A and B are shown apart, each in its own frame.
Chain A
Amino acid sequence: MVAATPEPSAAGRAGSTRAGAGAIVAHGLVKHYGEVRALDGIDLDVPEGTVMALLGPNGAGKTTAVRIFTTLLEPDSGHATVAGLDVVHDADAVRRTIGMSGQNAAVDEYLTGRENLDMIGNLYHLGKAASRARADELLERFDLVDAANRVVKTYSGGMRRRLDLAGSLVANPRVLFLDEPTTGLDPRSRLGMWDVIEELVGGGTTLLLTTQYLEEADRLADAIVVIDHGKVIARGTSDELKSQIGGERLELTVSSASELAATVDILRKVGVGEPTTEEKAHSAGVAVEGGSAVLIEALRQLDAAGVVVQDVGIRRPTLDDVFLALTGHAAEEAGEAAAAKKRGRRGDKGESS
């Protein structure tokens, strides 16, 4: 769905990264909103040219962190650099280096798609001709050519999101921040967005993205940082996080609840630790070591006991399991709790220059 356009040469990009330093670095970031500790001492280091996913439930502090990196908010304490530039003291230089797309698409409804991008180009001081050319290039790349001369008011949510992302790329930023870039997109648009992001990263852009979708982090990120209540609760690659909470599980569903007792007896013999069951779903599971050999052994014994197995498999833990294990709640539950809290809050202003 996205036309491939060759990346402009590295020399044409805005900003440059100081050698040795990570492209995005944070030390002990703290930010309060009144009583709420939105960030409670966050440390991050994103090496140049890599993708970091900031993962967390609603209200975890993801947007707050992004706003600090993009100079929209000043931290109460701690400091952060982007491309070696301090986000508070060198804010202007940081702005010349970064691109950002906020959680809600910040596009002008009364301008056309092309006018939106052209305006951003002008505000980056690209020059009239160059910013028009860049707008055309991005419209092409984001599959918005047909809608280019329509006012954004007539765009769908997905189109707005794409236009907003295009806006963040106008100046070919070295470092990019995307706050929940695929929230609200349908599966097809989400895949399209992932393709675009992968293409960008292939061109050497450093990316920090926030997401609530574990599979998104799994697919796009080199490293994942999980935050909750403003604190980092885990970090690593997706494989590292998965192995942190243990190995494989054997899970199966039998045809009736009355067969569960026999099933559990067998699982106890082949697995390690105590099996778990779910009466309603007629399913049971146990942690195992040895993969498929154990699976075959279990099936043989179940068959001998006359248990009818409807579904069976060895499951590696997903990031969802990681999340559950780390936060003690599933992403959605945590989200609802935080959203309820959020609904009750009043606006507050952060100081930044």
Chain B
Amino acid sequence: MSVLTQAAADGMVVARRNLIKVKRVPDLLIFTTIQPVMFVLLFAYVFGGAIHPKGVNYREFLMAGIFTQTVAFGSAITAIGLADDLQKGIIDRFRSLPMARSAVLVGRTTSDLVNNLIVMVVMSLCGLLVGWRIHRSVGYALLGYIVIFAFAFAMSWVSATIGLSVSSVEVAQSAGFIWLFPVSFLSNAFVPTSQLTRFLRPIADWNPMSSVVASARELFGNKGTEKLSTAWSMHHPVVTALGWSLLLLLIFIPLSVRKYRAAATR
């Protein structure tokens, strides 16, 4: 077996193990789904009335933002899952086996992607209920989802690196999340970047999250305000978003694998 196919095969064994847990502890999935659903409803009905970007249907505008923010936050469970395995000594067991060094991480990020997929289906249905619609062809819509999932997967590897760096599950629980607040609010997810102060604008325009949100809006045919920006990233969101995801993967896959090799039970 080549190194890559072995890593993939071992990764799937680990992913299956993680998904069995999702199946046996269904409340976990229920609560990770309730939060984004709550977000959709709160933003649609509370802010939907108060925020009126020019020439834009705010509920339609909002959905791509909530989708992206949700998968980004959803990736934080990667950190928690790994920190938990580390604390329970399960990583030690894995590390003493002749399996691929990346398999535990491949398995974890894959099962978390499946988790995100399920949440996404629920959220999309919820969006349809509050009036969100896809206005372009199935192909574009699919590409829109692909951009979102590519970002989710990349963020999962960032999260894996965090999970293997912190000293306990409790720390992972907050360290996995807090940095996501500035990332998601310093973006075009909830407000047009053109409404931000001048010096925050370029940060928001080049925020990977913004490019994912802009891509989704464009590909779902939901009107955004990105074209008002002068930044290149906002005019080529799909390339930018996929580029960011690739870059994150190129940095954080090797980094987290290195962390994994050095991980000891704490």
Cβ-neighbour of B98 out of A67, A124, A350 (below 8 A): A124
Q: Which parts of B72-109 form the interface with A (CB within 8 Å)?
A: 88-90, 92-99, 101, 103
Interface residues of A in 337-353 (CB under 8 A from B): 346-353
Answer yes or no: A262 CB below 8 A from chain B CBs: no
Q: Which of A104, A110, A119 contacts B21 (CB 8 A)?
A: A110
- Given A108-B17, A110-B25, A123-B13, decide whether A349 and B263 contact each other with a Cβ distance below 8 A: yes
- The reply on B34 being an interface residue by CB < 8 A is no
> Which one of B25, B96, B101, B266 lies within 8 Å of A347 (CB-CB)?
B266
Q: A347-B266, A349-B263 are in contact. Are A95 and B92 (CB under 8 A)?
A: no
Among residues 120 to 134 in chain A, which have CB atoms less than 8 Å away from a CB atom of chain B? Answer: 120, 122-125
Query: Per-residue 0/1 for A96-117: is the Cβ within 8 Å of any B Cβ (1 yes, 0 no)?
Result: 1010101011111111000100
Tell me whether B97 and A95 are in contact (CB under 8 A): yes
- Within the complex, the shortest CB–CB distance from A28 to chain B, in Å, comes to 22
CB of A81 within 8 Å of the partner chain: no
A-facing residues in B132-178 (Cβ within 8 Å): 167-168
* Contact between A122 and B264, CB atoms less than 8 A apart: no
**Which chain A residues lie closer than 8 Å to B266 at the CB level?**
347, 349
In the complex, what residue of chain B is closest to A97 when comparing beta carbons? B98
Known contacts A347-B167, A351-B262; A123 and B99 CB within 8 A of each other: yes
0/1 string, A2-42, CB within 8 A of B gives 1:
00000000000000000000000000000000000000000
Q: Which of A106, A120, A125 sits near B92, CB closer than 8 Å?
A: A106
Docked-complex contact A106 and B90, CB < 8 angstroms: yes
When A72-B264, A123-B10, A349-B262 are in contact, do A111 and B96 touch as well, CB less than 8 Å?
no
Q: Given A72-B92, A106-B89, A124-B97, decide whether A111 and B17 contact each other with a Cβ distance below 8 A.
A: yes
How many residue pairs at the A-B interface have CB separations less than 8 Å? 82
Query: Is B20 located at the chain interface by the 8 A CB criterion?
Result: yes
Complex CA gap A107/B92 in Å reads: 11
B261 within 8 A of partner (CB): yes
Evaluate contact between B264 and A108: CB separation under 8 angstroms.
Answer: no
Residues of A within 8 A of B (CB): 67, 70-73, 92, 95-96, 98, 100, 102, 104-111, 115, 119-120, 122-125, 151, 167, 346-353
Q: A-contacting residues of B (Cβ < 8 Å)?
A: 1, 6, 10, 13, 17, 20-21, 24-25, 88-90, 92-99, 101, 103, 167-168, 261-266
Query: Closest 8 A-B residue pairs measured CB to CB?
Result: A347-B266, A106-B93, A106-B89, A110-B21, A95-B98, A96-B98, A123-B99, A122-B13
CB<8 Å pairs between A and B, sample of 9: A73-B264, A100-B96, A102-B92, A105-B89, A109-B88, A123-B10, A123-B94, A124-B99, A347-B266
